[in-house]
Amino acid sequence: MSQEKVLLLGAGGQIGVELTEQLRKKFGADNVLPTDIRAEHPLLESMGRYAVVDALDTQKIKELIQEEGFTQVYLLAAVLSATGEQNPQLAWKVNMDSLLGLLEIGKELKLNKIFWPSSIAVFGPTSPKQNTPQSTVIEPSSMYGITKYAGENLCAYYNKKFDMDIRSIRYPGLISYKSPPGGGTTDYAVDIFHKAIAEGSFTSFLSEDTYLPMMFMEDAIRATIELMDAPKENLKAQGGYNLSGMSFSPKEIAAAITKHIPSFTIDYAPDFRQQIANDWPASIDDTQAQKDWNWKANYDLPAMVKAMLVGVKDTAHV
């Protein structure tokens, strides 16, 4: 098999920085190029070559792929749920135009593989709330969720119609310390660690009993790479794969933090993000991912909290 060359679009965010790190370990630093719309990205630039690319600039992306011979593209550029609810037109434009543009390029240049992330946000108030199955009623209520569900359908269409290989995961809320989250409803579960360490208290924008599906970033990156390595014939899911890590509420994560920082306190001031969370699943059934590519998460709530407290403290001193 010839050497794969990987291009990442929107790599400057919460997922892209850590995915770049792991893909470089797998394919070699010179074979993986992270790009983002940000003119400067000190963190990515400190890790190696970085380029500024607008994920909506299909002409530039096409030229880059042709010039450098990229065989796989990971499209991570997006407007997330909270920002998307405040600017729905921007969410539609960035999330949909970037995907459609890339799918057309992939078709024309015959890319080996494309990765495009979906989200638990595809599910809405009419989906089962507990252990939400892979295939069920899907009627998203946020603009972000609408773009993710439309994107899943676009990917399925291109896969079938043009025999392409586009793979996708419905990530839960991701929790990490290397690169900050960018405007999601689950971001509270990252902020809480920074505030717990710096100030000893935290005000949650979700109410105390709002359960959401979550996952530690190390698991999410491993899942992404395992899915991309899986034999194509094994992948039977319609749409992005459901992926389960853990499920907790603000009250439960606060209690888990209190085991390490006994003086930590939390209070609650729900805002517009509460409505987004209310319509999402509380937990996810990922039986299909287990079956098709042997998926299994390593981190539960106590293990994640321990890793986050160490990681946030370490990076705060860098």
Q: Which does 185 bind (CB under 5 to 8 A by kind): ligand NAD, ligand SER, none?
A: ligand SER
In whole angstroms, what separates CA 139 from the centre of its chain?
A: 20
163 to 103, 116, 232: CA distances (angstroms): 12, 16, 11
By the 8 A CB rule, do 247 and 211 touch? yes
Q: Which residue is nearest to ligand SER (CB)?
A: 184
CA dihedral 29, 23, 101, 118 (to 10 degrees): -160
Contact partner at residue 56 from ligand NAD, ligand SER, none, CB < 5 to 8 Å by partner kind: ligand NAD
**206 within 8 A of 273, measured Cβ to Cβ:** yes
Residues 143-182 contacting ligand SER, CB under 6 A: 144, 173
β-sheet bridge partners, residue 113: 72
**Residues pairing with 36 in the sheet:** 52
Q: Is 80 in the site for ligand SER (CB under 6 A)?
A: yes
- Catalytic site includes residue 144: yes
309, β-bridge pairs: none
243: Cβ contacts below 8 Å, ≥ 6 apart: 169, 170, 171, 172, 215, 220, 223, 284, 286, 289, 295, 297
Residue with tokens 């705060």: 316
Annotated catalytic residue, options 50, 74, 144, 158: 144
Which one among 78, 189, 301, 304 touches ligand NAD, defined by CB under 6 A? 78
Near ligand SER in 16-45, by CB under 6 A: none
81/168 with CB nearer ligand SER = 81
Min. distance of Cβ 240 from ligand SER in angstroms? 11
The residues pairing with 72 across neighbouring beta strands, listed in sequence order, are 6, 113
Query: According to the binding rule CB under 6 A, does residue 145 interact with ligand NAD?
Result: no
Total Cβ atoms within 10 A of residue 56:
15
The answer to the question of residue 13 lying near ligand NAD (CB under 6 A) is yes
Our CB check for ligand SER shows the closer of 101 and 172 to be: 172
Site residues (vs ligand NAD, CB under 6 A) = 9-10, 12-16, 36-38, 54-56, 76-78, 80, 94, 117, 119, 171, 173-174, 181-184, 186
Where in the sequence numbering do the catalytic residues fall?
144
Binding site for ligand SER (CB under 6 A): 80-81, 119, 121, 144, 173, 184-186
